[in-house]
């Protein structure tokens, strides 16, 4: 495969220090290629959003990055890029859509002002041309009466409308990489379908790569080329979307898929993954899924399993190693 557009290597994020250190993200590595959709999957608190925030150095001040962490984009390590250069990347090359669009829009400014400012930040054009581009962007995302919406404030719009405005900003900037952090979680099914369609179109027409973060396996099935599954701060499985859905290797991935309701099995009881997610401070010398796993052996509690290849994919499980 061609060189990755985004390459994250050994990303670790910790909070606190000394004996009280909590490692929320533990040596995560991933790659996103041009025009590809990589879905980052896992339950709340597994480190998905922290991984995304690290790409553009948007982590909270108390977060500490591991010394070996690298985030390379276009050949440059964003974690060590001067702030002025990083601002240029944020302005035009990488866009991010957050789960709650209301928190990303300024309540004191009109939609027109916010859209045109975002467009002009990445392109050296007049305000008049930026306003025309803003109007075109709103039309592209299917917002009715776009001229009227440009004059309104965020509080006058629905959640789905706000999310489409955030995507309109992305369309206008034409980024190489879009990070979509659970952009459809709070939306109804109809609006969710519209948002996913827009993202597909962005990828198809502009060649944008998408890092899509979600815990919804149904959305993953619609969007993903490849899937990376996280659990308790670690990558536990990654591979092609078809392989992960039809031949899941890690017990956690298998449990996630069995937990998805099936319309063809109306009266089937949903599967439940017993137990609780371990705290971030759990010792690294064991499998983090051991206490919830039906395949657990003493080995799983005495050593940490490596990511091991299995049919072209990778799983962090001893069942695919010689030790098993």
**pLDDT per position as a tens digit, 213-268:** 998 888 999 999 999 999 999 999 999 999 999 999 999 999 999 888 777 666 66
pLDDT, tens digit (0-9, with 9 covering 90-100), for 18-63: 767 888 999 999 999 999 999 999 988 899 999 999 999 999 999 9
* C-beta separation of 255 from 294 below 8 A: no
Domains in the chain, CATH or no CATH each: 6-246 (3.40.50.300)
Q: How do strand 70-73 and strand 307-310 relate by DSSP bridges?
A: unpaired
Max CA pair span of the chain: 68
**What span, in angstroms and rounded, lies between the C-alpha atoms of 204 and 243?**
23
Separation CA 324–CA 322 (nearest Å): 5
Report how many helices (DSSP H) and strands (DSSP E) the chain contains, helices first. Answer: 11, 13
What digits encode the pLDDT tens for the residues 119-159?
Answer: 888 677 888 999 998 999 898 888 889 999 999 999 999 88
Report CA dihedral (241, 161, 187, 32) to the nearest 10 degrees. Answer: 20
Q: Quick count: other Cβ atoms within 10 Å of Cβ 4?
A: 17
Please report, to the nearest 10 degrees, the dihedral formed by the alpha carbons of residues 72, 226, 310, 27 taken in order.
Answer: 30
CB within 8 Å of 99: residues ≥ 6 apart: 181, 182, 183, 185, 186
> Which residues does 148 contact at the CB level (< 8 Å), separation at least 6?
none
In whole angstroms, give the CA distance from residue 80 to residue 250: 34
Q: What pLDDT is attached to residue 282?
A: 67
Give, as one character, the DSSP assignment of residue 210: E
For 196, the 3-state DSSP assignment is helix
Strands 6-15 and 177-181: unpaired
Mean pLDDT for the stretch of residues 274-302? 86
- What is the distance between the alpha carbons of residues 305 and 189, in angstroms, rounded to a whole number? 39
Does residue 215 contact residue 200 with C-beta atoms inside 8 Å? no
- Indicate if the pLDDT at residue 85 is higher than 90: yes
Confirm if 291 and 297 have CB atoms less than 8 A apart.
no
Which carries the bigger pLDDT value, residue 8 or residue 205?
A: 8
Both tokens of 230, joined, read 């996280």
- Is 246 in contact with 12 (CB distance < 8 Å)? no
Please give the pLDDT value at position 151: 94
Task: Say yes or no to pLDDT of 315 above 90.
Answer: yes
Q: Taking all residues of the chain, what is their mean pLDDT, rounded to a whole number?
A: 89
Of 160, 163, 194, 161, the residue nearest 180 (C-alpha): 163
Pairing between β-strand 209-214 and β-strand 177-181 as defined by DSSP bridges: parallel
The pTM of the full predicted model, rounded to 2 decimals, is 0.90
Tokens of 70: 């690298």
Instruction: Report whether pLDDT(278) > 60.
Output: yes
Distance from C-alpha of 205 to C-alpha of 64, rounded to nearest angstrom: 38
């Amino acid at each position: 495969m061609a060189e990755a557009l985004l390459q994250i290597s050994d990303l670790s994020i910790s909070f606190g220090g000394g004996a009280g250190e909590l490692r929320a993200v533990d040596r995560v590595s991933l790659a996103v290629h041009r025009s590809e959709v990589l879905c980052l999957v896992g339950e709340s608190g597994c480190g998905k959003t922290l991984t995304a925030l690290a790409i553009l150095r948007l982590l909270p001040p108390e977060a500490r990055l591991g010394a070996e962490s690298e985030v390379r984009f276009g050949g440059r390590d964003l974690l060590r890029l001067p702030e002025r250069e990083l601002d240029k990347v944020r302005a035009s090359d990488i866009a991010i859509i957050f789960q709650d669009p209301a928190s990303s829009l300024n309540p004191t400014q009109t939609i027109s002002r916010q859209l045109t400012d975002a467009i002009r930040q990445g392109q050296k054009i007049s305000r008049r041309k930026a306003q025309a581009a803003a109007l075109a962007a709103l039309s592209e995302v299917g917002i009715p009466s776009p001229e009227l919406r440009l004059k309104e404030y965020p509080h006058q719009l629905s959640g789905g409308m706000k999310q489409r405005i955030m995507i309109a900003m992305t369309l206008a900037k034409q980024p190489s990489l879009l990070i979509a952090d659970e952009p459809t979680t709070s939306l109804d099914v109809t609006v969710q379908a519209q948002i996913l369609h827009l993202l597909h179109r962005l990828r198809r027409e502009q060649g944008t790569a998408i890092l899509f973060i979600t815990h919804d396996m149904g959305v993953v099935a619609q969007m993903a080329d490849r899937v990376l599954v996280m659990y308790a701060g670690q990558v536990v499985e990654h591979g092609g979307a078809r392989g992960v859905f039809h031949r899941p290797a890690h017990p956690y991935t298998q449990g996630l898929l069995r937990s998805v309701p099936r319309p063809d099995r109306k009266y089937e009881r949903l599967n439940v993954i017993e137990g609780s997610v371990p705290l971030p401070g759990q010792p690294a010398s064991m499998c983090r899924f051991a206490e919830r796993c039906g395949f657990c052996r003493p080995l799983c509690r005495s050593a940490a399993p490596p990511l091991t290849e299995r049919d072209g994919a990778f799983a962090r499980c001893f069942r695919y190693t010689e030790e098993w």
